[in-house]
A and B are shown apart, each in its own frame.
Chain A
Amino acid sequence: MEKVIHRSNKSDLFKNHDYFGIDDLLTEEHKMIRDSVRTWVSKEVLPIIESCAEQNECPLHLYKQMGELGALGPSISAEYGGGGMDEITYGIIMQELERGDSGIRSMASVQGSLVMFPISKYGTEKQKSDYLPKLASGEIIGCFGLTEPDHGSNPGEMVTNIKDDGDAYILNGAKMWITNSPIADIAVVWAKDETNRIRGMVIEKGMKGFSAPKIEGKWSLRASITGELVFEDVRVPKENVFPDISGLKGPLSCLSKARYGISWGAIGAAMDCYDAALRYSQERIQFGRPIGQFQLTQKKLAEMITEITKAQLLVWRLGTLANQGKATPAQISMAKRNNVWIALQIAREARQIHGGMGITSEYPMMRHMMNLETVLTYEGTHDVHLLITGHDVTGLNAFS
């Protein structure tokens, strides 16, 4: 059955939520970029997103628009088609995209942080010039293969492997839960070589022995497509391999970048839920007065804006550190864990404030809430990030 994406003409009533005047810490460009992405989300994402999510359909036409806007790889060097912008800009873009939908933000953060970033950092000159400009414009789509069916939180134990075969490597194995894999033109894949070191490489669609089946039945991130990567004796030319990086630090550096973006992104989803709940609490009358007048509703709203404000300050500081090259992976873990968690709590509370209406696609909370279950899990689960903080503060590793 062909899916028809319905375009809603509901107007976007979202208002900026900046309780502590954090806007004063941003530059004029930051604010202009935020307004641009916000306007774009309002015009191009919100009218179709409920329909996309309902029908489990990824709005692929948005890739080129995001490319034109500059949302794909904003902090990648401009020389290769990136935006050459600072980390706060990157964060703000992720926040605004996720105000629309975590799936749309995932489309952009996989492309920028997990595909363009490793190619720009570890790739050869040829890899950079072959792929980066096309990825930046959205002409081609990329995906990132680290997780395996039997190795999620412990990617270091992956079994996908390459064997030397003269001018090429032979790649075997499988990756699981890969955002974009069924629609991707290229995949950045991590696999072990014969000395058991993790290496990164670019696999192109159409290589013999390579397939990318779709994973069906997701109740989360339904506007984003997820699949597997299956490699059966795929001949990978040696020039496709990243020359100088080996070990887990390759993929982990990409994850740091993407997690950083998620810590901003989650605030977008949280603000969208809070915004809806605040408005609804003033309009919905029960017992002769707006429900926002009841103390229990106020408690929910007050706690939501408090958590949003804390999260905003956290990422602003993290972004400032990142701009100076000083943000540590452990700091990024803390921000990702905290901000996704509060966003999920806010989605749930905001859903409650809407009563029965809250479970429908008239309002965004259910969709955000279901999406955030993925966001809580991917890029390191909620508990794994806790253990990273635990390791960092105690010096004792709970993983080994």
Chain B
Amino acid sequence: MNLLVCISKTPETTAKIAFKDENSSFDTDGVQFIMNPYDEWYALVRALELKEQHGGKVIAINVGDSSNDPVIRKALAIGADEAVRVDIEATSSFFVAKQVAEYAKSNDIDIVFTGKETIDYNGAEVGGMIAEMLEQPYFSFASHMDHDGSTATVTRDIEGGVEVAEINGKFVISAAKGLAEQRIPNMRGIMMAKRKPLNVIPAVEAEGNVKVLSYELPPVKGGITMVDADDMDKLVKLLHEEAKVL
């Protein structure tokens, strides 16, 4: 089985978020990056388990410049056999999906894995777009998957419950919590990662038809106002005039 795992880098969860260029782009200055946890903990590990069970290879793919290499090396250290970096800035979900889909097409990929979303933009878009471009079924938010080598049974998280589906043939899956368990790269893996191939390939053309106009931070959380238990009028007034919930 040829398994392709999309990995992206995201700011580390405690990073201070700021914007530049009149709030139209994320200011990466001083920000530490990590591998998107849904990609690392669930998508990649489930792909590795499938390979261990059925043979084949796991390829990690990333769209971005060489500053993403540490994150890619980590995927190799965790166990991916090889990695591909499409050497161009990832400008939109559509653009990234196009790059991945083209690679999957020309490399006979059986399953494309993504995380259910990245923890920065939370778009949850790339997986669906790849599936569409490949004309393959898409299973989003998968929390469980069994694969006997030809048929896969996938459990998806849906609002208030789960959906279980079966699929023969190629597909795209986005990984949610539960699909696998985090693997911590060990020293051996980290040293071996140095010798595994990280192929840098040029981008294919894709329209960059989305332009971000601006970002806004959520409003700063206000302090707590204590209202005397006997003063109902004041509470109602505050809820009405300040909180605007009444």
Give the interface of A toward B (CB within 8 A).
13, 15-16, 28-29, 31-33, 35-36, 39-40, 43, 68-71, 74, 83-85, 89
Tell me if B246 is interfacial: C-beta within 8 Å of chain A: no
Contact A36 B14 (CB under 8 A): no
Nearest A residue to B187 via CB reads A70
Contact B186 A68 (CB under 8 A): yes
Task: Point out the residues of chain B lying under 8 angstroms from A85, CB to CB.
Answer: 187, 191
| CA distance in complex: A312, B72 (Å) | 28
Tell me if B116 is interfacial: C-beta within 8 Å of chain A: no
Give the interface of B toward A (CB within 8 A).
14, 32, 69-70, 73-74, 77, 182, 184-188, 190-191, 193-194
- For A36, give its contact among B69, B73, B190 (CB under 8 Å): B190
- Nearest-neighbour CB distance to chain B for A21, whole angstroms, equals 11
Contact A39 B184 (CB under 8 A): yes
- Nearest-neighbour CB distance to chain A for B85, whole angstroms, equals 15
| CA distance in complex: A335, B32 (Å) | 30
Task: Point out the residues of chain A lying under 8 angstroms from B69, CB to CB.
Answer: 28
Which 3 pairs, one residue from A and one from B, show the smallest C-beta to C-beta distance?
A70-B187, A83-B187, A70-B186
- For B188, give its contact among A16, A39, A70 (CB under 8 Å): A70
Contact A36 B191 (CB under 8 A): no
- Nearest-neighbour CB distance to chain B for A229, whole angstroms, equals 31
- Nearest-neighbour CB distance to chain A for B34, whole angstroms, equals 8
| CA distance in complex: A84, B191 (Å) | 10
- For A40, give its contact among B32, B74, B184, B191 (CB under 8 Å): B184
Main secondary structure of the interface of A (DSSP, over half): helix
Task: Point out the residues of chain A lying under 8 angstroms from B182, CB to CB.
Answer: 43
- For A32, give its contact among B14, B73, B188 (CB under 8 Å): B73
Contact B187 A74 (CB under 8 A): yes
| CA distance in complex: A15, B191 (Å) | 25
Interface centre among B14, B32, B188, B194 (most CB of A within 10 A): B188
Contact B70 A36 (CB under 8 A): no
Contact A32 B70 (CB under 8 A): yes
| CA distance in complex: A13, B14 (Å) | 9
| CA distance in complex: A71, B32 (Å) | 25
- Nearest-neighbour CB distance to chain A for B54, whole angstroms, equals 24
Nearest B residue to A70 via CB reads B187
Task: Point out the residues of chain A lying under 8 angstroms from B193, CB to CB.
Answer: 32
Given the known A-B contacts A28-B70, A28-B73, are A36 and B184 also in contact in the complex, defined by CB atoms under 8 Å?
Answer: yes
List 14 interface pairs A-B (beta carbons < 8 Å), by A numbering. A28-B70, A29-B190, A29-B191, A32-B74, A32-B77, A32-B185, A33-B190, A35-B74, A36-B185, A43-B182, A68-B186, A69-B187, A83-B187, A83-B188
Contact A29 B194 (CB under 8 A): yes
| CA distance in complex: A71, B188 (Å) | 10
| CA distance in complex: A15, B12 (Å) | 11
Nearest B residue to A85 via CB reads B187
